[in-house]
Amino acid sequence: MVKSMTGFGRGEYSDEKRSIVCEIKSVNHRYSDITVKMPRRYQFAEEAIKALVKKVAPRGKIDVGIQVTNVDADETNLTLNTELAKLYKEKLSELKASLGDIPGEPDFRMIALMPEVLKAAPEVEDEEAILKALSAATSKALENFDKMRAVEGAKLAEDLLKHNDVIMKTRDEIEVYAPQVKVLYMQKLKDRIADLLGKEAQIPEERILTEAAVFADKSDITEELVRLKSHCLQLISILSNANESIGKKLDFLVQEMNRESNTIGSKANDINITNNVLILKAEVEKIREQVQNLE
């Protein structure tokens, strides 16, 4: 199945302790670049989450966002740093003494609100249980994410085949027209000689044939046309039988299609073929742009 590297998916998981929401979005990228953003206390699960994502999407710039809401009050523990509170009281008293006649004394409320005196800290969690919960939410998000990529991939494949069809038809037109290039060259050569020497001049036919043969050999594009057709058929086959990542393979194939098109244009030495080559190159470029979005 052809898949796009662009997609979005959302998954949720909840139990008696927590509610988890996972969102995954991606854009095209030459390699695999996975970023996971989630609460710091769960960062031990980051590599496991990345591994899950990579199984589904081996290429692309992928952002994974995970939000966790704890619904079990027992998971939070309030800690009191008494020594720090005493130190705050001592330092505040020193500050008051150094500033002179300033009204007021450090009170209980002021010291309690100082940083790190009272702190809500999560209880030590069962890493295996939380990893299972995070993986469940991520798996649901990946399922939706992959469905979207498949839909986008099908649209891309359809568009690629349309451009490929134009290339095939244009290639066929060039193949039908190509034999006429030699005949037209011979006639132009005769006309040029007649203009230079006069219409009554005797033109050696053998010489004309020799020149035409040399020209035909230099401008022969048969091999390039055959290879271009082969590349087009390969593209159809790859899109029709995709069961793995095909983006890199198609990227290389498109480079070969472009190379053949350039060679046809440089060798043919004919305005009609040149015009068709411009169509070929435009369609190959459209395919190249779309291929960048395929996994």
CA distance 42 to 127: 8
**pLDDT for residue 288:** 95
Residues with Cβ < 8 Å from 60, sequence gap 6 or more?
A: 5, 6, 26, 27, 28, 29, 32, 33, 295
Hey, which residues does 121 pair with through a beta bridge?
A: 77
**pLDDT for residue 271:** 85
**pLDDT for residue 183:** 63
Over the chain (295 residues), the average pLDDT of each successive run of 10 is 93 90 94 93 93 93 93 64 83 78 74 77 72 96 96 95 97 89 62 59 61 60 92 94 86 95 85 92 95 91
Question: What HEC string does 221-290 produce?
Answer: CHHHHHHHHHHHHHHHHHHHCCCCCCHHHHHHHHHHHHHHHHHHHHHHCCHHHHHHHHHHHHHHHHHHHH
Q: Which amino acid, 72?
A: D
**pLDDT for residue 105:** 73
Residue 37 token pair:
């953003």
Rg (CA), the chain: 36
Over the stretch 226-282, which tens digit does the pLDDT of each residue have?
A: 999 999 999 999 999 887 788 889 999 999 999 999 999 888 778 888 899 999 999
CA distance 66 to 22: 4
**pLDDT for residue 208:** 59
**pLDDT for residue 245:** 83
**pLDDT for residue 67:** 95
Burial (CB count within 10 angstroms: exposed 0-12, middle 13-18, buried 19+), residue 97: exposed
